[in-house]
Amino acid sequence: MDQISNFIIQIKNAGLAGHESVAVPYSKLKEAIAQVLKNEKFIKDFEVKTAKGKNVLEVSLLSENRIPKINGVQRISKPSKRIYKKAGEMRPVKNGYGALIVSTSAGVMSGRDAKKQKLGGEALFSIW
């Protein structure tokens, strides 16, 4: 099972269903992705909690006038086929309204930040 795909689809579906927050199983990678999504203003906040003896990442969703901020996601790099991009190959998503999430040697960051720092890496997914 692809944990990143499950994570981003759960966030998107919860927003479209009108939920205020969603709880997903915790991992360090999901926490790093949530931090990038918060910095890019796609989610309101996130918090690590313990439920039934297991760590859970609770993500508070952001919406404007009951319209969710996240309208779509597209997984780029999959476990079966990894996609890597150089800093010069990173392009804006949806004319700058979206974001490309990249895993670099300096950690998980948006494509915009990776391009500023001249870092390439694995293109995880795009979100808009």
Distance CA 82, CA 79 (A): 6
3-state secondary structure of 79: coil
* Residue 91: count of CB within 10 angstroms of its CB: 10
Nearest-CA neighbor of 126 among 12, 3, 1? 12
pLDDT in tens, 47-60: 999 988 999 999 99
Full-model pTM: 0.93
Delineate the domains of the chain, giving CATH numbers in brackets.
3-68 (3.30.1370.30), 73-127 (3.30.1490.10)
Model confidence at 1: pLDDT above 90: no
